């Protein structure tokens, strides 16, 4: 019988959560509240749209909590050169992590060279910042998920990530397990989209996730 690893304590769980506020109508006061919550609970990062990166970076200075910016979000329908420029701007503005959306149309067309090239361009633009590639699993076949993970790995990304949370589905245990099987232990796997409870988060971790993206972060760590 396979043993299940013990559930992490709330503080340890907090350190693998990206506290996420990506709503287009989020204003300065709400973003700052998320930063204060992240400082209090010591989440891994606060994940925001690029426009908020300078604000978040300043608010989190000295806290040990990272600033994370999404790019090419939420559709991935942006030329690779432009996405790379967006990543470079975000890093210069204070982001230590970058979550990019894969070129979904190119992947669907079987244009692996474009997908790989775009990720590699963004990775170069990130410099020392961590790059996570959002593959939007709910829109992909199983083979496309495998291909997306392999291309991300070949292009030098640090993580693959399930979802934007803005399409027709979010993270599933099955997708997280598949992604972990494909990338092995060489990359991180971020489960994001629809994770609202501690039980949800623990299922993702048991399936192989090493990072959780959520807006319900406080509910997750408090149960």
- Label residue 31 by pLDDT band (50, 70, 90): very high
- Residue 125 in tokens: 């633009």
Chain segment 143-197, per-residue pLDDT in tens: 999 999 999 999 999 999 999 999 999 999 999 999 999 999 999 999 999 999 9
Q: Name the least confident of 4-8, 62-66, 114-118.
A: 4-8
Chain segment 50-63, per-residue pLDDT in tens: 999 999 999 999 99
Number of domains in the chain: 1
Residue 4 domain-assigned (yes or no): no
- Residue 138 in tokens: 């709910």
Mean pLDDT to the nearest integer, 59-79: 97
Q: What does 23-89 look like in DSSP terms, one character per residue? A: -TT--HHHHHHHHHHHHHHT-SEEEE-GGGHHHHHHHTTTSSPEEEEEESTTT--S-HHHHHHHHHH
Residue 67 CB neighbour total at 10 angstroms: 29
Which residue out of 18, 158, 190, 200 is catalytically annotated? 190
Per-residue pLDDT at 6:
66
Residue 19 domain-assigned (yes or no): yes
Domain encompassing residue 183: 11-222
- Residue 121 in tokens: 């361009």
Which residue out of 123, 132, 145, 161 is catalytically annotated? 161
Closest CA to 32 of 17, 49, 14, 52: 52
Residue 35 domain-assigned (yes or no): yes
Residue 6 domain-assigned (yes or no): no
Work out the end-to-end distance of the chain between its first and last CA atoms, rounded to an integer number of angstroms. 27
Which residues pair with residue 160 across a beta bridge? 133, 189
Question: Catalytic site residue 108?
Answer: no
Which residue out of 99, 118, 158, 175 is catalytically annotated? 99
Residue 118 domain-assigned (yes or no): yes
Residue 16 domain-assigned (yes or no): yes
Question: Catalytic site residue 175?
Answer: no
Residue 145 domain-assigned (yes or no): yes
Share the mean pLDDT of the chain.
96
Per-residue pLDDT at 8:
86
Torsion sign, CA atoms 28, 32, 101, 206: negative
CATH code for the domain of 58:
3.20.20.70
Report field, pTM of the whole predicted structure over 0.85? yes
Closest CA to 170 of 130, 126, 212: 212
Mapped onto helix, strand or coil, the DSSP state of residue 135 is: coil
Segment (H or E) for 190: strand 188-192
Residue 76 domain-assigned (yes or no): yes
């Amino acid at each position: 019988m396979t043993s299940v690893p013990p559930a992490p304590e709330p503080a340890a769980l907090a350190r693998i959560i990206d506290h996420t506020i990506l709503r287009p109508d989020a204003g300065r006061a709400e973003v700052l509240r998320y930063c204060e919550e992240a400082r209090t609970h010591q989440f891994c990062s606060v994940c925001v749209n690029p426009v908020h990166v300078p604000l978040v970076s300043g608010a989190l200075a000295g806290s040990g909590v990272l600033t994370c910016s999404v790019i090419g979000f939420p559709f991935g329908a942006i030329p690779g050169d432009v996405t790379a420029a967006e990543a470079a701007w975000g890093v210069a503005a204070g982001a230590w992590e970058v979550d990019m959306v894969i070129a979904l149309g190119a992947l669907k067309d079987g244009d692996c060279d474009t997908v790989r090239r775009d990720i590699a361009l963004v990775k170069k633009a990130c410099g020392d910042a961590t790059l996570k590639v959002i593959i939007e699993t709910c829109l992909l076949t199983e083979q496309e998920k495998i291909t997306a993970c392999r291309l991300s790995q070949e292009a030098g990304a640090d993580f693959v990530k399930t979802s934007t949370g803005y399409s027709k589905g979010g993270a599933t245990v099955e997708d997280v397990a598949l992604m972990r099987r494909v990338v092995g232990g060489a990359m991180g796997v971020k489960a994001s989209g629809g994770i609202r409870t501690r039980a949800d988060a623990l299922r993702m971790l048991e399936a192989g996730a090493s990072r959780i993206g959520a807006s319900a972060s406080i509910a997750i760590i408090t149960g």
